[in-house]
Chains A and B, each alone.
Chain A
Amino acid sequence: MTIRFIHAADLHLGSPFKGFAGLPGKMAETVRESTFTAFRNLIGHASRTRPDFLLIAGDVYDGEDRSLRAQEQFRQGMEMLRGAGIPVFVSHGNHDHLAGSWVRFSLPDNVRVFGPEVEKAELTIRGTTVTIHGFSYPERHVTEPVIGRYPPAGGDAVEIGMLHGSIRGDEAHDVYAPFTKDELLEKGYDYWALGHIHKRQLLHEQPPIVYPGSLQGLHRKESGAKGFYDVAIGRGKASLEFIPAGALVFGQAEVECAGIRHADEWLERCMDRIRAFRKANGPGLLDLRLSGIDEGAEGMFNDAPESEWLEFIREAAMRDCPDVGIHRITWERAAAPAVPGGLFRDVLDELVSWDADGWKSRLTDLYGHRQAYRFTGRLDEESIREIREEADRLLTEGLMKGGRAE
């Protein structure tokens, strides 16, 4: 007997896009609505294809600043599913934990929200019993493992675990309800519906252990198609189909700049890439990486500040592909001019010689500023790298410019 369900996670309804500025009006609107659009796509798909049930593995909302509108939209979505006769199982995650003081909208009776303790829900589908285990975050931080509280599988029922958390030892994300793959497999469940990690990934094939990824990319780094899984489990075998749902796709495009001497040539190459992106992904936000910059191209780019080039390409994109926003341009110099030894080398060497504290102490004017620090972002390894690269670029460009001839 095959049962079919949808596994989605990390809806982050109403979440703003982080790290974007200067999007044109129409684009900004699309961006603002994108989480809702993605959610509607999910609900629309479910209503059309009538799965047996729907799993949402945490982070329906973005955080405590969830808007009433987001909740209302979610409620309406649930109402639609109720109308379609589709049960929904929700476990809240770190972003929408149970301790929050927000208003709770009463959800229709087809929605089952797991409590703070691991509990199970049972339903029978065409004679097959399906048991779903899950819990909701009682508070913002659940750093202790919870996996131990999940009961092992037993009996004939199809068993599914819902868990919002990260795999132990993954340093890239904050640690929440950590687990290991083996711990999950030991439970003997037929499917693990995970949430929390925004990047789609299959930790295990059979039985599937799945992060469906976020429903809509919310950051430049959350690039590529986003969506959810349409899962069918039958006779101990599961098949998964990824369904894109995002309203916008983040992407990158490389623009080869070798041989370019005039702005219009460059613009045409950029637009080719933008159009190709538009064709492949639909609406989206795009980073352009300019590569193969030779002396001539460099000369051309040096004629105007980088911000002007960005503005230039944005305007062109607005005209041609108004639903593709250009987020930023990075210049990849083919070969940085050889840095000779001596003082200049010393200056550049200086940059790499600082440890994290060295950086912090040097940047404390801003990053330690009582008001500013909240908006600068943390001075973590990545931002230090970003700053260092930028400083390196500034120095190289500033000091090597002009050549030797006098």
Chain B
Amino acid sequence: MMTITKLVIYGFGKHENVTIDLQQGINVLYGPNEAGKTTIRQFILHTLFGFPQRGSSLLRYEPKTGGAYGGQVHVTDSEFGPCVIERIAGRSAGEVTVRFPDGREEGEDTLGRLLRGYDRQSFESIFSFSLLQLQEIGRMNEEELGEALIASGTTGAEDLAGFKAQMEKEMDGLFKKSGRVPRMNVLLTELKEAEDKIGEYRKKSDAYAPMKERAAEIALRLNEIAEEEAAITADQERLSVLRQAAPLEIERLRAEEELQEIGDAPFPADGIRRYEALKDRKMAADAAIRNLQERIAAAGREMPEEPDAERLSSLRSVLAEEAAWHEAHSMETSAELSLRELAGMKDGLLARLGLDDGERFAGADASIRKEEELHGLSQEHDRAFRNLERLDERMAEKTAEAGRIAQERAALEASGPEDEEIEWASKWPTLRKRLVAAEAKQRGQTDSRLPILILAGLAVLIIAMAIFSENWLFAAAGVVAGVASVYLLLKGGGGDDGLTEDERRLLSRYGGREEELDRRAERVGRHFAELDRLIEDEERLRSEAAEIRSLRQAAAATLDHAENRLGAFLEAYGITGRLPAAIVPELFRLVRELQETMRRIRSEEEKRNRAIRISGSIRSRAHHLIGHAVPDPLLFSALKKAERDLVRDAETRERLFEEQKRLVEERDEAKSLTAALETEIGVLLDAAAAADEQAFYEASGQAGRKAELLETLRRIGEQLKQIGAPIAEDIPDIGEIGLRMERNRRSLESLLDDRNRLLKEQAELEARMSHLVADTAYDALLQEFEEKKAVFRGYAVEWAARKAAVSAIEAATGRLKEEKLPDVIGRASGWFRNLTGGAHSALVLTRGGRIEAEGANGLRFDLHELSQATKEQAYISMRLSLATSLLESAPFPIIMDDPFVHFDRVRLGNMINLLEELKIHHQFLYFTCHKEMAGAFNEAAVISVAEAGSERGVLK
């Protein structure tokens, strides 16, 4: 039995530093609502089974004020003795220490053993219940009860059932007796298939033995075939030899026969060739003779006449003059050329001299003295001419001058002053004198000299103007003015201090106008001076002109004289008319040139004539030699040809003579050769015993055939030897040989076919056999099969293990139920009857596994058909019965939270009696808010749980 002796709460929910002492038997913990009763119950559960996980549906009761969390539950256990279980904050379930009086400190493991493997859930399902939890057993059937029983000592009923269910599920996934999908069933199919495959491979392997036998047979048969083939082939070879030998034999016989016929056939060795060679040579020699004969005749025909030696020498002498001929020709040509040129020159000169014929010049005197003479004449003439010209010029000058002066005088006269003016002017000087004197008198000689100075200046001015304008009249006036001024100046002013009337009139008339009046007077004076001068010049010019005229007459006479003398001189040279003056110096040069030209003409003419003479002589001789006229340019080539022809004829003739001689010699030689050849031919014919050529050829044919036959025989002999024909055997008929060979050939063919077929079969067999013996697929298949088997076996173990586990669970739980359940129900049934005061006689387990209540009248009720209180009484009976039945394995205190509130007095009394009865084996902790319950039990410890909020308010 396990008893909780003390609770020490460090901090749990509202409780802090609370200590509660408990006793054996019944403990009533009383307190009003919210006093913390439930908290204390939870403290016990939490301390024993651990604080709930954070976040789980259960409260953790951590102190809201902070501070220590947890506490101690002091326990005395029949098996473990006294110990203190302390749980404080640590990992989420809290840190547990189990302390024993001997000082040992243990942990969760020991606590687990102390709690006999119970977890909170299984503990609560039996040993701790509130009114609410009371009904959690559910429908209260056999299964539930069984599970409640089973829950004892395992992690929980659900775990075991769930585990079992899981195992079953896994088993189903692995194997089903008649399934297809589970892994092992699938594998089974595969294994069967693999087996079949292996079977097939075995079958294939079984074919190996027959194949091997067949291979041996084939090898045997192939050997036989080889032997047969060898035999037939040998025969075939022999027949083939015979077949080759047969026609040879026939040929040999024929050849020998023919030899017999031919017999002895003499013929000189190489006879035909020799004969034919000789014959050829003889024919050649005959032909040569004929040819020579013809050529001799031809040479005679071709031979030219004997050439004329005289003509040849004449030709050669003419030919020797070829150079002279060409020279004459070129001389003629050049002379002609010169002549033409000189004639031109002569004509030019004559033209220049203005002559038609130069003949008179040929003898003219062209000496230097004559030339000098002409020169003098010419100069004289020129001088006269020039003189005349000069005089003419002077004459013209004088005439022009006279004309001009006359003009001037006329102009002067036309512009002369009026007559009164002239008269006034003639008086002015006197007037002036008087005026001046008057003025001087008037002014007192103060400025008597001034008008004179002005007059002088005026004179100068007038002269200058005259010079400038070339107006001589002005000049004269100027001079006059000047003279006057000088005069006045010299005389000095005799002042007119005492003016007369006249003088006063004069002064009034002329005073102050002196200058103007001076100028008027001067002008008149100047006009008359000029006129005088012109008259004078005219006089002078007349005298000069007369002089010049006389001089010109003399000069013209001189010129005529000079002209006449020159004309006479030129006459002598045939020049008539007036000789151009420019030519005169040239004359003599031209004359001399003309004379030279004419001389050269004559010389060239001589040269030409000489050349013509020479070429004419050569040409006439040549023409005679050639035999006909030839144009000059071809003359010498014709001559040369004539010469060449003559020489060639001579040579030809010579050559032909030589050739004719040689040919005659050759012909004679050929004739003697022919004779020799004829002799030799005769000898050959004799050797062949032939009369003529035909006989000789026949003999040759015989001899040749004989040799051929002998050769044939030799060849046949050799061939027979080569073929290997049996010498001493009868050679059978060739037809028979053919037949036998054909037969052999067919046999061989059929053997070959057989052999090929067999070889093919053998190759195939060998390939198949070697494939079979080398095939690793079979090994692979076996391995695969084994692997599958291994997998299958692995699965089998898995399945079996699960099956075993399930069976074990079933067996153990079954036995548990079988053994304990009737006990539990029986006891519960008794208590239930007592509690209900006999109203219900029993609790019964139906065949269907449900629990029913049996009424006193024997009627049965399903539990949920009972009244609330009765139902609760049934449950409590069942729980207490379970607890009692588990006393050995789970001797825990029973903790109740006001479960009897629905009970009437009688049934409560019954209940209390029951507990009193049971308290010997179980400690009871009874939490209640009903004060009367505190006193309901005998010997119960009553603990008052303080009002809400009070501390240390736990009363005893």
Contacts and interface: CB of A to CB of B under 8 A. Distances in A.
Contacts of A69: 772-776, 778-779
B807 A362 contact: yes
B797 interface: yes
Interface stretch (A185-193, A245-253, A295-303, A342-350): A342-350
Interface stretch (B160-168, B243-251, B857-865): B160-168
B788 A369 contact: no
Nearest to A106: B212
B808 A375 contact: no
B217 interface: no
B222 interface: no
Contacts of B805: 351, 391, 394-395, 398
Interface in B670-703: none
Interface in B290-320: none
A280 B153 CA distance: 50
Interface centre among A20, A23, A103 (most CB of B within 10 A): A103
Interface stretch (B16-24, B382-390, B619-627, B809-817): B809-817
B202 A65 contact: yes
A65 B198 contact: yes
B49 A404 contact: yes
B889 A342 contact: yes
B490 interface: no
Contacts of B813: 343, 347
A18 interface: yes
A14 interface: yes
A132 B93 CA distance: 79
Contacts of B796: 366-367, 372, 375-377
A40 to B, nearest CB: 14
Nearest to B151: A343
Contacts of B338: none
What is the size category of the interface that chain A forms with chain B?
Answer: 35 or more
Contact of A341 (B175, B780, B889): B889
Contacts of B508: none
Contacts of A223: none
B808 A395 contact: yes
A92 to B, nearest CB: 18
A14 B786 CA distance: 12
A347 B796 CA distance: 22
B167 A340 contact: no
A380 interface: no
Nearest to A347: B812
Contact of A16 (B150, B779, B800, B811): B779
A372 B808 contact: no
Nearest to B191: A375
Interface stretch (A136-144, A172-180, A382-390): A382-390
B49 A366 contact: no
Interface stretch (B60-68, B109-117, B748-756): B109-117
A387 B52 CA distance: 38
Interface string B98-129: 00000000001100110111011100000000
Interface centre among A22, A366, A383 (most CB of B within 10 A): A366
Contacts of B803: 362-363, 365-366
A17 interface: yes
Contacts of A103: 205-206, 208-209, 212
Nearest to B202: A65
Interface string B774-803: 111011101101111111111011111111
Q: Is the interface of B mostly helix, strand, loop or mixed?
A: helix
Interface in A301-353: 338, 340-351
A215 to B, nearest CB: 16
Nearest to B786: A16
A142 to B, nearest CB: 24
A391 B804 contact: yes
A376 B187 CA distance: 12
Nearest to B153: A342
A400 interface: yes
A68 B772 contact: yes
Contacts of B815: 346
A369 B801 CA distance: 17
B50 interface: yes
A67 interface: yes
Contacts of A16: 779, 782-783, 785-787
B804 to A, nearest CB: 4
Interface in B49-79: 49-50, 52-53, 56
B786 A406 contact: no
B786 A20 contact: yes
B915 to A, nearest CB: 26
Nearest to B124: A406
B397 interface: no
B799 A21 contact: no
A394 B50 CA distance: 27
Contacts of A72: 773-774
A203 interface: no
Interface string B184-227: 10001001100000100110011011001000000000000000
A98 interface: no
Given A344-B117, A363-B804, A406-B121, A387 B797 contact: yes
B155 interface: yes
Contacts of A362: 803-804, 807
Given A21-B791, A342-B152, A375 B799 contact: no
Contacts of B205: 67-68, 102-103
Nearest to A67: B778
Given A16-B786, A20-B786, A32 B779 contact: yes
B159 interface: yes
B956 to A, nearest CB: 33
A91 interface: no
A77 B797 CA distance: 41
Interface in A113-143: none
A340 B808 contact: no
Contact of A404 (B119, B779, B797): B119
Given A14-B782, A21-B794, A342-B117, A372 B153 contact: no
B154 interface: yes
A71 B773 contact: yes
A406 B779 contact: no
B808 to A, nearest CB: 4
Contact of B155 (A23, A70, A376, A399): A399
Nearest to A327: B790
Interface in B124-166: 149-150, 152-155, 159-160, 163, 166
A19 interface: yes
B775 A68 contact: yes
B801 A340 contact: no
Contacts of A388: 801, 804
B177 interface: yes
Contacts of A383: 797
Interface of B: 49-50, 52-53, 56, 93, 108-109, 112-113, 115-117, 119-121, 149-150, 152-155, 159-160, 163, 166-167, 175, 177, 184, 188, 191-192, 198, 201-202, 205-206, 208-209, 212, 772-776, 778-780, 782-783, 785-794, 796-805, 807-809, 811-813, 815-816, 889
Interface of A: 14-23, 28, 31-33, 65, 67-72, 102-103, 338, 340-351, 359, 362-363, 365-367, 369, 371-372, 375-377, 383, 386-388, 390-391, 393-395, 398-400, 402, 404-406
- The 9 closest A-B CB pairs, nearest first, are A342-B153, A390-B801, A340-B117, A72-B773, A350-B808, A391-B804, A16-B786, A346-B812, A405-B50
19 contacts: A17-B783, A18-B786, A19-B789, A21-B788, A28-B787, A69-B772, A103-B209, A340-B112, A342-B152, A344-B153, A350-B809, A366-B175, A369-B177, A375-B796, A387-B801, A388-B804, A402-B159, A404-B108, A406-B50
Given A33-B779, A69-B775, A399-B159, 16 more contacts: A16-B779, A17-B786, A19-B786, A72-B774, A103-B212, A343-B816, A344-B160, A347-B811, A350-B811, A363-B803, A365-B175, A366-B175, A372-B184, A372-B188, A390-B800, A405-B49
